[in-house]
Amino acid sequence: MTFPDQKFPDIAAYSDAYFDQLKAAAKSVERTKLAAAAAILEKAYGQGATLYVCGNGGSAAISNHLICDHLKLIRTDTDMLPRVVSLSTNIETITAIANDISYDDVFVYQIESLGQKDDVLMTISSSGDSENVVRAATWARDKGLSVVSLTGFEGGRTAKLADVNIHVGSDNYGVIEDIHQSLMHILAQFIRQKQMAEDLIQQRKF
């Protein structure tokens, strides 16, 4: 069964059902996987490694938004200097690779040039099966980079390629992307507060 599976008479009823779906999807996330992902990111940020992140469509927007929270937010009131790069953000590079080589290579082509052994790749893909994301994850795994994947639906190939797969149990793109966005914020805020002085936490807005 998918959501929605019927026509709703008004937006109030649809929003109630949608929020119920969000609650169930959030509950489906394994907290142990979230903790494992946070540990990988915290280690990378602490030792000067770079987090690369990529995704298509709405997932590209989450990838780009992640830079703000994982770079600026985590630096605030901490001693961390996160290095974060979205492979989805440089439209000139993306279109050049897509036009001259293949859209399937838009992420792997970039990370081949930029990625180092201790770096981390985070893939964001509702299906987990977008070919360009899969190729980047495959290269990163083969080169010894840690791979964290955010997925939905059946998880796809990136769920199997990742060191840590944070899976959202939903079959609705909007719900999955909403939870992925929340997970991005949760990871950033948790790492930040963990590094902050106790007396500052109540004084600051997150």
CA atoms of 36 and 162, how far apart (whole Å): 12
Q: Considering only CA atoms, which of 97, 146, 98 is closest in space to residue 119? A: 146
| Separation of alpha carbons 127 and 139, rounded Å | 19
- The predicted structure's pLDDT at residue 89: 97
The CATH architecture one would assign to domain 31-201 is 3-Layer(aba) Sandwich (3.40)
Q: Report the C-alpha gap between 191 and 107 in whole angstroms.
A: 26
| pLDDT digit string (tens) for the chain, length 206 residues | 699 999 999 999 999 999 999 999 999 999 999 999 999 999 999 999 999 999 999 999 999 999 999 999 999 999 999 999 999 999 999 999 999 999 999 999 999 999 999 999 999 999 999 999 999 999 999 999 999 999 999 999 999 999 999 999 999 999 999 999 999 999 999 999 999 999 999 999 89
Q: Which tokens in the block code for residue 149?
A: 């994947």
The residue among 54, 29, 5 whose CA lies nearest residue 170 is: 29
> DSSP string covering 121-140, please?
EEEE-SSS--HHHHHHHHHH
Cα 154 to Cα 24, 128, 196, distances in angstroms: 16, 8, 37
pLDDT the model gives residue 39: 98
